[in-house]
Amino acid sequence: MKNIKAIGFDLFNTLISVKPQALDEALGRLTGSLIQSGFRLEREPFIKAHREAAARFLEETSLNGRETHNRFWISAALKTQGYDISPDDPHIAVAVEAYFSPFLQFCSLVPGTREMLRTLKSRYRLALLSNFTHPPAATNILDNMGLASFFDVVLISGELGYCKPHPLVFRRLVEDLGTKKSQILYVGDDPELDVNGAQRAGLQPIWITYVRDHHIPSAKSILSGRVDMPEYEVPRISTWEDLLSLLDK
């Protein structure tokens, strides 16, 4: 792979994993925040309504590629509980921050991630392209996990307005890296979002299966796992040593 000039990475289940408990804790804090703000809610019915609202919005996202945001899910769930509250209401903004507050404590780096990025930083332009609805939370995770300084480009779907596998986000990645798309590798774990999406956009995808291969329990999006295998024959790696070996060929 001598013609590669830049490498893009997915975040979740690629560079880091998030324990499944994060979602339950997040929903608990979300509900607690709303109750503290004066909403009279029963926890289980509200959480059920929130999950259903999230599924509806994420299903729409899967069809049109437009990123959604948690504030819309919360507003829709509150409506089922008798509260007609705008998604831009400040109480919902506080609840969103409460929802994301526990994620960091449940994040773990895939072994060797910092060392791998440090090695590649001197040889390639590096980028992060992640589907994440709330960009401040993603930035916080990157900073606290000690990853932010490695990347020349950081793109979060919540800022872009579209998410993988929409071609717009990969075009933006190419533009910001300032490199021909054929000279960019994109490394990710999701067969559809990362591998198929990058391939269709003209990048060279690499499928990382560390979390899958090691049977690591992880928090999953409602829409994750819809595609089990990539459409294309692409390099598959399980460790960062595998990636470094590929790059040296």
Rounded to two decimals, the pTM is 0.95
Q: Are residues 170 and 200 in the same domain?
A: yes
User: What are the strands, taking DSSP E only, across 66-131?
Assistant: 107-109, 125-130
pLDDT, one tens digit per residue, over 2-60 is 799 999 999 999 999 999 999 999 999 999 999 999 999 999 999 999 999 999 999 99
* Residue 39: Cβ-neighbour burial (10 angstroms; 0-12, 13-18, 19+): middle
Q: Are residues 180 and 210 in the same domain?
A: yes
Residue 80 belongs to a domain: yes
pLDDT, one tens digit per residue, over 124-183 is 999 999 999 999 999 999 999 999 999 999 999 999 999 999 999 999 999 999 999 999
Q: Are residues 70 and 120 in the same domain?
A: no
Q: Are residues 97 and 208 in the same domain?
A: no
Domain extent, residue 209, equals 6-19+108-247
CATH number at residue 222: 3.40.50.1000
Residue 1 belongs to a domain: no
Q: Are residues 124 and 67 in the same domain?
A: no
Indicate the number of domains in the chain.
Answer: 2
